[in-house]
Amino acid sequence: MDNFFPSPTSEDNLDYTPIIGDVIPMVLEDIEMVINSLEGGKAPGLEQIDFWMWRAVFTHDKEFILDLINICFKFNYFPEHLKNARVFFLLKDGKDPGIPPLHIVAKDEFIKFRIWVKRSNEYNTIVDINLLDKHMPFTNIPSRQRLINLDSNIPNSDYDIYTDGSRIENETGFAPCILKDETNIQNHLFKLNTFNSVFQAELAAIEFAVNWDVKEKVKVNIHTDSLSSRSVINSANTRSEFVNKVKSNIFKAKNMVGLSCVEAHVGVSGNELADQQDKLAITSGDKLFIPVPYSHLKCLLKIT
């Protein structure tokens, strides 16, 4: 701990006038979220305290860590060893080589928690929480809808629906294409907002296909090239209200739909059709509102 709380030397300037700011104190939930998100396999900072030590100290005395961090925020002071790092640049295409100091990471996590979980209005200059997707507590998700296993193909289906979503130059859209006996009979094009992600578009396309199936009271096989959509449907980890709403609708049609993943751009005619149509949707689709995703909030915090 000498690296973290070093003994004073003759060269140390122990005079410090705190700049006390108007800061909302963190609560144990905030700290628990950050501690639980720490990953192993990361090199410690100059203070040589790795994440196992932080986790062990927090487990031993949560109030101590909470008080320590709140005092740091209150007096606008963080130990120098937490703000410095020895950086080795390993440049990769599309990757930011910078390593943010711990106090910046902690501040970002605190703001994300206040916005995403607590729905605080104090950061409306970053994002309008009325447009933001909502965090859904695990206990509010019906147990039978947490994991949904769909057959990839149901026999004697009445229709096949190919779905796809795209994002081109900050514009997002999706298109479900309905086929009857391999003949294209309907295409539905939707244009989303600039803040929506491809993942949301892909999932919304599947939701449209499911809702169409329920409305028409038919059997449908849905085909998508989005592995992430298929994975999240069969995962209990998501807390997004939008995603869980989609899963709720899928659950209602569980015995009426099949969901398969097809490989993109390999000549599957239905998938190629959906790929063409979703690009048209970006410019000429019907406008549809889907909440701002959590991923967009994280991007906004990186540039503020």
Residue 11 φ then ψ, to 5°: -90, -10
pLDDT tens string 89-108: 555 666 655 566 677 778 88
- Residue type at 270 in one-letter notation: G
Instruction: Check: CB of residue 209 under 8 Å from CB of residue 186.
Output: no
Q: How many CB atoms lie within 10 A of CB 120?
A: 14
pLDDT value of residue 144: 86
pLDDT value of residue 107: 84
pLDDT value of residue 296: 94
**What whole-number distance in Å separates Cα of residue 136 and Cα of residue 142?**
11
**By C-alpha distance, which of 259, 289, 253, 285 is closest to 188?**
285
**What whole-number distance in Å separates Cα of residue 164 and Cα of residue 275?**
6
pLDDT tens string 28-49: 877 887 777 776 666 666 666 7
pLDDT value of residue 198: 95
**What whole-number distance in Å separates Cα of residue 176 and Cα of residue 162?**
6
pLDDT value of residue 232: 92
Residue 77 φ then ψ, to 5°: -140, 130
Handedness of CA 81, 84, 86, 92 (dihedral sign): positive
pLDDT value of residue 201: 96
pLDDT value of residue 56: 84
Q: Which domains does the chain have, with CATH numbers?
A: 1-88 (no CATH), 145-290 (3.30.420.10)
Q: What percent of the chain is helix, strand and coil (3-state, nearest 5)? A: 40, 15, 45
pLDDT value of residue 207: 97
pTM: 0.69
Q: How many CB atoms lie within 10 A of CB 54?
A: 16
DSSP H helices in 161-293: 198-216, 227-233, 241-252, 269-284
**Residues of the chain whose pLDDT is less than 50?**
1
